[in-house]
Homo-oligomer: A and B are copies of this chain.
Amino acid sequence: MHIQSGVAIKLQFSQLIPETFKGAKADKASQTAAVQQRVRPGQTLFAEGDDAGAVFELAQGIVKLYKLLPDGRRQITGFATTGSLIGFTGGDIYQYSAEAVTDVVASRYSSVQFNRLLDEAPGFARRVLAIRQNDFVSAQDQMVLLGRKTAAERIATFLLHLSALTGNGMRTSGFHIPMSRSDIADYLGLTIETVSRTLTKLKRDRIISLPEALEVRIVNRDRLEEIAEGDALEAA
């Protein structure tokens, strides 16, 4: 059901908080240890503009991160998956909103505590930096997609990423799309109609099949990769 059953794209680490700190403080006040938290689909972890009181490390599930324009236009800047760190900001206000897409399990750290760890725990900042560096690289790829790719290229790129995420990298088996057309559209800078139409076209061309709306099977992976990289999808 969840897409992170297999390989995680983000950095893998069994625990973000150093053992030494985790144990030491937990004895004393149990508030230093992270609190495990469950979040239902559609629920908000935090909203842009709120006081940034907590940082979350995703243990399970998918969270969409997005920003809104005053008139309601939305851009999803990324989907956080297992291992992702969300809610960490340089300042004291969240820069974006975070809402669960699937059932989510997350470790919640207070921002104060998190920042203390950054300053004091050896190697901690280094590990968080590695995560952010990865996020930054993903963000750059997404900028290329949003600024320069066609609708078909965006969809193809997205499907391949999803496929990699589910761990079906080499096989052609199908997988579940965990988010709605609306989420896909706002992530790829398109409308839901264009997303739907483009998927239909890929299906007509036998590049993918769609057993149902949220189920995809990549039939011709090579072709899909060509399209993702800029080989035009014929009008037909």
Residues in chain A within 8 A of chain B (CB atoms): 65, 67, 69-71, 73-75, 77, 88-90, 95-96, 118-119, 123, 125-126, 128-130, 132-137, 139-144, 146-149, 186, 188-189, 229-230
Q: A135: which B residues are within 8 A, CB to CB?
A: 136
Give the CA-CA distance A131 to B68 in the complex, in Å. 24
Q: A142: which B residues are within 8 A, CB to CB?
A: 143
Within the complex, what minimum Cβ distance (angstroms) separates A77 from chain B? 5
A-B contact pairs, 8 of them (CB 8 A): A67-B141, A69-B144, A69-B149, A70-B229, A128-B129, A135-B136, A143-B143, A147-B186
Contact status A139-B143, CB under 8 Å: yes
Contact status B90-A140, CB under 8 Å: no
Contact status B119-A74, CB under 8 Å: no
Contact status A140-B77, CB under 8 Å: yes
From B95, B123, B125, B146, give the contact of A147 (CB < 8 A): B146
Contact status B134-A126, CB under 8 Å: no
Q: A118: which B residues are within 8 A, CB to CB?
A: 126, 129
Contact status A133-B89, CB under 8 Å: yes
Contact status B147-A189, CB under 8 Å: yes
Within the complex, what minimum Cβ distance (angstroms) separates A151 from chain B? 12
Contact status A230-B71, CB under 8 Å: yes
Within the complex, what minimum Cβ distance (angstroms) separates A69 from chain B? 5
Give the CA-CA distance A74 to B144 in the complex, in Å. 8
Within the complex, what minimum Cβ distance (angstroms) separates A17 from chain B? 16
Give the CA-CA distance A133 to B89 in the complex, in Å. 7
Q: A123: which B residues are within 8 A, CB to CB?
A: 119, 125
Give the CA-CA distance A140 to B126 in the complex, in Å. 22
Give the CA-CA distance A142 to B144 in the complex, in Å. 11
Give the CA-CA distance A226 to B70 in the complex, in Å. 10
Give the CA-CA distance A74 to B118 in the complex, in Å. 37
Q: A143: which B residues are within 8 A, CB to CB?
A: 67, 75, 77, 139, 142-143, 146
Within the complex, what minimum Cβ distance (angstroms) separates A57 from chain B? 15
From B74, B95, B133, B134, give the contact of A137 (CB < 8 A): B95
